[in-house]
Amino acid sequence: MDSDTRQSVIDIDSVSKAFGGLQALSNCSLSIPAGSITGLIGPNGSGKTTLFNTITGYERIDSGDIRFQGKSIARATPEKVFRLGIGRTFQLTRIFPKLTVLENMHVAVQRQGKGHLFSSWSAAHEQQKALELLNFVGIAQHKDLPAGNLSYGQRKLLEFAFILIADPQIILLDEPAGGVNPTMILYLADRIRELHQRGLTFLLVEHNMEFVMSLCQRVAVMHRGSIIAQGSPEEVRNNPLVLDAYLGEGVQ
C-alpha cells in the first residue's frame, strides 16, 4: 500500500511552541502512517526533540493540535500518552542507575498504573515478560547488575525494553544510534525491523544518515521548527532544500 494513503497513527497539525522569544516549533505539520518507519532528521536545534516532547505530553503546545488515532492528545499527560500506546526513548537515557536491570523493568510495569491490561498480571507473569524483553534487546545476561554499570549502548537497549513492556503501538526513538558502537547499531536496527514486521509503527530522530536511510521508508526533514521536506529516503536525499537547511546551520 502507498504509505501516503495509509491511515495515520499520529497527526501533527500546525503545531507551534515558543520558549520565551525562541520559536522552537512553527506551524509544524506531519502525519505518521500506521505501520511505517518514519525518520525525522534536521540540523541541531531544529525542533525534533521538542516535537517529541509535545507529542508525549512533556511540553504543552501554544497552538495547533496533535491527534493519536484521530483523538486529540494535545493536553494529555506523559502517563496518559504512555498508556494510550505511545512509547518513547530520550536523547539522554533515563534509567535508575542504582536499581538492577530487572528492577528497572519492574518500575516500567508499575508505570502502567491501574486499569491497564498489566494490572491483572501476576508477579511471575511480570517477571517472565520482563525477562523476555531483556532477552529480545540482548541484555538479559546483565539482569542482576545495577543499571548504572551498563555501557551507554546497553542503557539505550534497556530503555528500549522499558517502553516495550507497555505493548506500544508506536515508538518514538530520539537518537537511538547516538554514541552507540556500529555493531550495536546494526543489532538495534534488526530489533526495530523485527518489531516493525509485528506491526509496530516507528518515528525516529537520528543524525546517523546511514541508519535512517537504510531503515526508514519515509523521511521528514525539520528546519527551524517546521517540516520543510518529506518523502522516500531517495527523494529527501536529492531535495536541494534539505542540503541548504543543513549547510545553512553549519556542518554537523
Does residue 110 touch ligand ATP according to CB under 6 A? no
Among residues 33, 35, 39, 47, the one that binds ligand ATP under rule CB under 6 A: 47
Chosen from Mg ion, ligand ATP, none, partner binding at 24 (C-beta under 5 to 8 Å by type): ligand ATP
54 in contact with Mg ion (CB under 5 A)? no
Per-residue contact flags (x/-) with Mg ion for residues 88 to 107, judged by CB under 5 A: ---x----------------
Q: Using the rule CB under 5 A, is 56 a contact of Mg ion?
A: no
CA 246 – CA 181 distance, rounded (Å): 24
> Which of these ranges, 37-45, 110-118, 137-145, 152-160, lies near ligand ATP under the rule CB under 6 A?
37-45
Cβ 144 to Mg ion, closest distance in Å?
A: 33
- Give the list of residues 6+ apart from residue 108 with CB closer than 8 angstroms, or none: 130, 161, 162, 163, 165, 166
User: In angstroms, rounded to a whole number, what is the distance separating the alpha carbons of residues 250 and 151?
Assistant: 31
Q: Does position 78 bind ligand ATP by CB under 6 A?
A: no
Q: How far apart are CA 81 and CA 67, in angstroms?
A: 11
Nearer to ligand ATP, 19 or 96 (CB): 19
Q: H helices of the chain, where?
A: 48-55, 78-84, 101-110, 123-137, 152-164, 182-197, 209-215, 233-237, 240-248
Q: Which residues bind Mg ion (CB under 5 A)?
A: 48-49, 91
